[in-house]
């Protein structure tokens, strides 16, 4: 699978979701979402985190940048990818979930067990890890239970740093999910399918939450740099 450097961020250009998932398992990687906001605004530390792991195009901006460099990428939203992994592997892989509020993670696990009969969720916990002792206990549990796939929904870069600490003790496929458990359980509403299909999810979010303009204004300089081949 080919990768390209976009403004200092190594991003892979999968042609299919299957290719990305297979590569992650073959190399036991940490999957990290890449989008336009990250491409333009990440610190050197944030870029280094992605470059150590498997950055993939979660947003349409990343897809445009990859394809501008000669790639053949497609958009793979992280909030869909984790469910693709479960759908493909739940019959013969084991899972571990971390993140969200207590009621959200409880509901997430309940819904997964209802939807995927026989899924093996070895353990789970909320995302509120307050002390070093809690963190070490979690990592020790991961090391003991040895899941094949670990999902961590805590937001970047906290979730990536935690996954790297976990991976030092136990090699597996890891994916950072941000607020995906909230979307899965219906606590947060995702854009309707039409908006998603036409790559306008960012616009729907802006219309739903006008305060996001402070974050999404970054699309203007991003598009200018994209068109000028300066990414």
Q: Distances in Å between the alpha carbon of 201 and those of 26, 61, 75, 134, 195?
A: 31, 12, 12, 36, 5
CATH superfamily membership of 3-184: PrpR receptor domain-like (3.40.50.10660)
Please name every residue paired with 3 in a beta bridge, in sequence order, or none if there are none. Answer: 12
pLDDT digits (tens, 9 = 90+) for 96-145: 999 999 999 999 999 999 999 999 999 999 999 999 999 999 999 999 99
> What's the per-residue H, E or C state across 94-121?
EEEEEECCHHHHHHHHHHHHHHCCCCEE
Domain ranges of the chain: 3-184
CA distance 96 to 120: 9
What value, to the nearest 5°, has the Cα angle with vertex 13 and ends 92 and 162? Answer: 60
CA distance 59 to 78: 9
In tens digits, the chain (231 residues) has pLDDT values of: 999 999 999 999 999 999 999 999 999 999 999 999 999 999 999 999 999 999 999 999 999 999 999 999 999 999 999 999 999 999 999 999 999 999 999 999 999 999 999 999 999 999 999 999 999 999 999 999 999 999 999 988 999 999 999 999 999 999 999 999 999 998 877 667 766 676 666 665 656 666 655 666 777 888 889 988 888
């Amino acid at each position: 699978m080919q990768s390209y450097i976009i403004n200092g961020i190594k991003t892979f250009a999968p042609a299919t979701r299957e290719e990305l998932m297979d590569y992650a398992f073959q190399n036991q990687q940490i999957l990290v979402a890449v989008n336009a906001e990250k491409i333009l605004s990440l610190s050197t530390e944030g870029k280094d985190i992605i470059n150590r792991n498997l950055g993939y195009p979660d947003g349409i901006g990343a897809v445009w940048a990859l394809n501008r460099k000669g790639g053949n990428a497609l958009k793979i939203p992280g909030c869909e990818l984790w469910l693709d992994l479960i759908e493909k592997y739940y019959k013969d892989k084991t899972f571990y979930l971390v993140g969200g509020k207590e009621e959200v993670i409880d509901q997430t696990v309940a819904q997964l067990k209802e939807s995927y009969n026989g899924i093996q969720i070895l353990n789970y916990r909320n995302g509120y890890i307050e002390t070093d002792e809690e963190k070490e206990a979690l990592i020790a549990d991961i090391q003991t239970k040895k899941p094949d796939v670990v999902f961590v929904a805590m937001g970047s870069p906290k979730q990536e740093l935690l996954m790297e600490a976990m991976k030092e003790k136990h090699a597996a496929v890891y994916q950072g999910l941000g607020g995906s458990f909230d979307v899965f359980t219906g606590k947060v509403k995702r854009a309707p399918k039409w908006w998603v299909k036409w790559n306008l999810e960012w616009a729907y979010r802006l219309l739903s939450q006008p305060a996001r303009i402070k974050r999404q204004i970054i699309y203007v300089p991003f598009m200018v740099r994209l068109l000028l081949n300066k990414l």
